[in-house]
Amino acid sequence: MRVNDTEAGEEPPQVASPEPAGRTHERHRHRHERLAKVLVAIKAGVEHLADRLDGVDIEEARLALTEDNMVEVLHQCEKKLRRVIDAIREEEEAMVREMGQSTLKARPDMPSEPMAANNCRIGDVDGEDGDSEEEYEEDLEEEVFDRDALKEQSRGMLDMASKKRTKKRRANGN
């Protein structure tokens, strides 16, 4: 059995933290709140897209959107969009046959494979690292107004506008 260092009379080694625990906790809480808002916005966007494409039929049954199956719902939306693109191409080809080749301009071919396979990141030419994620998040937090500050700012603007109106009325009335 190992004897605890504090029982032997020795102090445990202190780990130096660059930030106080409260500030770190507060920063993580703000980050969590912001990410939760982003998740809600993404879910609303995916739901809106799925609703808009509801009229397009595919072989699969429509999935009910949850936080766990957002990717699958997006795959269904992608299949529906591909079906719409194919229908447009067929209609366009029929129009070309009827009207002739010269009336329509040549269209660029759409990639046949998914964008995810073509999506690759290119490193910086200078070889410099950009801002770290934490610095980027801190910059975003500084730029975003909190709700109370925004309310106070709008109240101030309304007060200034109402003061201007009363001054103009007094000037016109005298």
* Domain range summary for the chain, segments of one domain joined by +: 22-104
Report yes or no: 39 and 12 within 8 Å, Cβ to Cβ. Answer: no
pLDDT greater than 60 at residue 8: no
> Which whole-number Å values give the CA distances from 53 to 3, 75, 78, 111, 112, in the listed order?
66, 12, 10, 21, 21
- Round to whole Å and give the CA distance between 109 and 112: 9
pLDDT at 103: 56
Higher pLDDT among residues 13 and 98, named by residue? 98
Q: What is the pLDDT of residues 119-155, one digit of tens each?
A: 777 766 655 555 667 776 766 666 666 778 878 888 8
pLDDT greater than 60 at residue 27: yes
- Round to whole Å and give the CA distance between 153 and 148: 9
Q: What is the pLDDT of residues 51-82, one digit of tens each?
A: 898 888 888 888 888 888 999 999 999 999 99
> Crossing angle of helices 21-52/133-143, nearest 10°?
80
User: How confident is the prediction for the chain on average, in pLDDT?
Assistant: 77
pLDDT at 45: 92
Distance of CA 134 to the CA centre of its chain: 17
